[in-house]
Amino acid sequence: MIKDLIIAILDVLYPPFRRLMPYQTFRYAACGTGNMMLDIFIYFISYNFVLEKQVLYTPLGAISPHIAAFLIAFTVSFPSGFYLNRYVVFPGSVLTGFHQLLRYFLLVIACLFLNYFFIKLFVEQFQIYPTVSKILTTVIIVTFSYLTQKHFTFKTGYSTSGTGSELAAKDSGREAN
């Protein structure tokens, strides 16, 4: 199973980070980074090679190539992000898959709006450089997203902190249910 392979890899990579963060936070950071890299890779391939930097004409209208590439990448990174969060990062959720998916979708939409809001606020109101604004925004959004997913989207019936072996034991207990 892909989930088991990912967890095994994370178990091997975690020891140097043990003193810096709990295992679940490490899982979230690693899975989020991997999914972000996948998203950027698909965006790059879509924009440069699939769309060839050309406008995409659809029956509903024309879509600029950078937005079309974003939509193409989103169709992959959204389900992969959900899968990673559901099965690797927050495996002990007591919510049904449908409720997790709905909450995850709402969180993604909220994060898109928050990104827009904070970048505009930092750049236009506080006169902070755009790149610095993006970094500040990312820190805020990642923190908000992690806490929201932990306590709302993938709400669990037990504490999700602990070591890799403790989370793995919880994972196997979930599979038995």
Dist CA 39 CA 80 (whole Å): 10
Asked if 35 contacts 16 with a C-beta cutoff of 8 angstroms, the reply is no
Domain boundaries, the chain: 1-91, 93-155
138 pLDDT band, cuts 50/70/90, is confident
What is the percent of the chain where pLDDT is above 90?
A: 64
pLDDT in tens, 99-136: 999 999 999 999 999 988 998 899 899 998 988 888 89
Dist CA 17 CA 24 (whole Å): 11
pLDDT at 48 over 70: yes
Dist CA 79 CA 85 (whole Å): 10
Dist CA 12 CA 8 (whole Å): 6
Dist CA 164 CA 123 (whole Å): 40
